[in-house]
Amino acid sequence: MTTQRRGTVLLIEDEDAIADLLRMYCEQEGFRLVHAANGERGIEAVRERDPRAVLLDIGLPGIDGIETCRRIRAISDVPIIMLTARDDEVDKIVGLEVGADDYVTKPFSPREVVARIKAVLRRADEPARVAAVITIGDWDIDSGRREVRHGPDGVYRPTAREFDLLWYLAENRGLVLSRAQILESVWGYDYLGETRTVDVHVRQLRKKIPGIPIETAWGVGYRFEG
Ligand code: CA
């Protein structure tokens, strides 16, 4: 296999064992892995190496992963996948809206991480969506402005991923969509492992957009009423 044909992935992680493992899998899949052992070096590497994707550990010496993510976002749109040590950190990342594209909970399988890298790159390569508005009742979901409008004064701007999720539900209004379907369509995953991601994002949407008619279909998934 030709190595490094897929470009550079930057890993910001203080544990060498994890770095070695991920390097092996990334290189097998044709990525070059650049490793930075702390946040400051990672930010420098984003500037100097122009990676196609960043894997970013939360627990880092010096500035932590969340702050590192914010600082990378200030200088680059590179897709960022956070590596979290605990499940509850996922809520924190989403809640803080630091600008990460995705997250994986440790212990993870390197295969899963590589699958996520490929998924974020696929999305990054997709052509921009044609501007359109879906109107459901008194809700307008506007893909050009990436905002949701409701009533005379209600204008909401969810994060990019939250918007994509809402758009997918709205496009399929009235239908119950399973978590697996949602993951596959919105996140581009081709496996059925992680489904909590969907729940976390739905929760965020409900919090940010009061009254948004996303219903839970217990044991199955979600439906946009309309
Ligand atoms: Ca760490």
**Structure token digits, residue 55:** 């894997």
CA of 192 to the centre of ligand 1 (A): 26
Burial track 9-18 (b if 16+ CB lie within 10 A, e otherwise) = bbbbbeeeeb
- Tell me: pLDDT of 191 over 60: no
CA of 27 to the centre of ligand 1 (A): 22
CA of 76 to the centre of ligand 1 (A): 23
Phi, psi of 52, deg, nearest 5: -85, -25
- Residue 71: closest CA among 90, 45, 105: 45
Q: What are 131-157's pLDDT values in tens digits?
A: 799 999 999 999 888 899 998 889 999
- Tell me: pLDDT of 173 over 70: yes
Structure-model confidence comparison of residues 191 and 15, the more confident one: 15
CA of 202 to the centre of ligand 1 (A): 28
CA of 45 to the centre of ligand 1 (A): 18
Strands 7-12, 31-36: pairing kind: parallel
Domains recognised in the chain with CATH numbers? 3-125 (3.40.50.2300), 133-224 (1.10.10.10)
- Tell me: pLDDT of 192 over 60: no
Q: What residues does 80 pair with on adjacent strands?
A: 54
* pTM of the complete model: 0.67
CA of 219 to the centre of ligand 1 (A): 34
**Structure token digits, residue 221:** 């998934």
CA of 183 to the centre of ligand 1 (A): 27
pLDDT of residue 1: 47
Question: In whole angstroms, what is the distance from residue 182 CA to residue 179 CA?
Answer: 5
Burial track 29-68 (b if 16+ CB lie within 10 A, e otherwise) = bebbbbbbbbbbbbbebbeeeebbbbbbbbebeebebbeb
